[in-house]
Amino acid sequence: MITSTLKILSEADKEACELVKVSEEELTVDKKRLFIESYGCQMNFSDSEIVAAVMRNADFATTSSEDNADVIFLNTCAIRDNAEQKVRNRLQYLNNLKKKRPGLIIGVLGCMAERLKTKLLDEEKMVDIVAGPDSYRDLPRLVEEAETGQKAVNVFLSREETYADISPIRLNSNGITAYISIMRGCDNMCSFCVVPYTRGRERSRDPFSIVEEARLLFADGYKEVTLLGQNVDSYKWKKEAEKGAEPSQMVNFAQLLEMVALIHPDLRVRFSTSHPKDITDDVLWTMKKYENICNYIHFPAQSGNSRVLKVMNRTYDREWYIQKIDRIREILGEDCGISTDMITGFCTETEEEHQDTLSLMEYVKYDYAYMFAYSERPGTPAAKKLKDDVPEEVKKRRLQEVIAVQRQHSSERNEMALGKIQKVLVEGPSKRSDADLCGRNDQNKVVIFPREHYKKGDYVYVLVTECSSATLIGKAVEAVLA
């Protein structure tokens, strides 16, 4: 028996919970072994699970160790230069490994593969396969081609591919929470962003396949699903009327959320990412209507200044964004968790405009933020038309200011939970101690408490007694007073 796993190298979600590996599979001698390593956003991690399923159908078993792998895939990210740098460093290491094991096949998948295409083969000589995000069904053929000693490339971007019929193999899973991709690509042209070029046009997945996937997860003991898309609010699925068959059907994101929430009250539903220009009251009311839709919205602002937002082509301004925040709080209450992404030092950003980002943060008081210094990406509208004119050290200093403000706000928002009872879904043992359990509350905050008789997958009411900017600490209580 071997534990199949996926090494997490994401910058994003730094969890306090220990990951418990549950997916196991029999390794038979005649099966070839695949090792997948994922970088970047949740969509990429979710894609690796699709890749594992495609490869299993081609008789590959996944392995947790590169040492016994016949094939190594790096599922890569291109969002910032340092994301690509990480992959290049890793490829250098694999280059040495390949010298010792000449039969080893190395594939670069995902956004960096799509961005660089065959250039990657020129730059990184030992790479055998380059496969973009829409070509994963073709991977078994690409591997076969590579086995004959040829280089194999598929970077075709599709307008239809959603992998709707593929049942992902859950990798590195805690057995409780899972991602479900509901759409692919992005049609927004934020001027700084490479995603529309690496993941192609936006397309929505059949809602019935999404509900079925969530239902099967729940039947398997999972208690939380996160619906993923670059811009979930523009989810739109349409089935044209067929002659003599049912009338045409339309499903928008609010309706999809409801369909998933109705599967079972004990199945928590989260989603990411919401775009400020597209979020609707319908979505907010649906969140309010269902207790199992978590009271948390990832709502990236990118900047607090209207001129910068215009240059970024975000298509909303500061006032619009603030109105949306007010609406979220009006409908879902002050304690609705809100997080953001912020970019510092975008082209032409002045010191005053940077101050507007800080003041927006003061206004909102985000629970959490992902913060980045602007990194120019070749081929994007910003790279083509704007000058990357904010010096590196200024970008970094502004970033530090944004981080310091956020740390303060994370603490303040966490302190709001002190003395309150939180409903926590237990994801596993805490990283620091086996005597403690770790889970998340509705607002996506990590909560740690003594294990007692509770176990993974339980919903536990926890009275919060202490907190840091990152974590809530408390003790389980038996009942909740209404």
| Residue 196 interacts with which of ligand SAH, ligand SF4, ligand F3S, none, CB < 5 to 8 Å by class | ligand SF4
- CB nearer ligand SAH, residue 200 or residue 300: 300
292 in contact with ligand SAH (CB under 6 A): no
Q: How far is the CB of 41 from ligand SAH (least distance, A)?
A: 6
Amino acid identity, position 22: V
Question: Under the rule (CB under 6 A), what is the footprint of ligand SF4?
Answer: 186, 188, 190, 193, 195-196, 230-231, 275
| Residue 439 interacts with which of ligand F3S, ligand SF4, ligand SAH, none, CB < 5 to 8 Å by class | none
d(CA 414, CA 368): 10
CB atoms < 10 A from the CB of 360, how many?
A: 20
Angle between helices 253-261 and 281-289 (to 10 degrees): 10
Phi-psi region of 155 (alpha: psi -120 to 50; beta: other; left: phi over 0): alpha
Q: How far is the CB of 13 from ligand F3S (least distance, A)?
A: 12
How big is the chain by its Cα radius of gyration, in Å? 23
Q: How far is the CB of 42 from ligand F3S (least distance, A)?
A: 8
298 in contact with ligand F3S (CB under 6 A): no
Q: How far is the CB of 47 from ligand F3S (least distance, A)?
A: 8
| Residue 54 interacts with which of ligand SAH, ligand SF4, ligand F3S, none, CB < 5 to 8 Å by class | none
DSSP structure string for 32-81 = EEEEEEE-SSHHHHHHHHHHHHHHHHTTEEE-S-GGG-SEEEEEE--SSH
CB atoms < 10 A from the CB of 210, how many?
A: 25
Q: Are 260 and 286 in contact (CB under 8 A)?
A: no
d(CA 253, CA 273): 12
- CB nearer ligand SF4, residue 186 or residue 390: 186
Q: How many helices (H) and strands (E) does the chain have?
A: 14, 24
- CB nearer ligand SAH, residue 27 or residue 394: 394
Q: Is 467 annotated as a binding residue?
A: no
Which residues are at the interface with ligand SAH (CB under 6 A)?
79-80, 192-193, 195, 230-231, 273, 275, 300, 302, 341, 343, 372, 374-375, 377
Which residues are at the interface with ligand F3S (CB under 6 A)?
40-41, 43-44, 77-79, 110-111, 194-195, 198-199
Residues tagged in the binding site annotation for [4Fe-4S] cluster: 41, 77, 111, 186, 190, 193
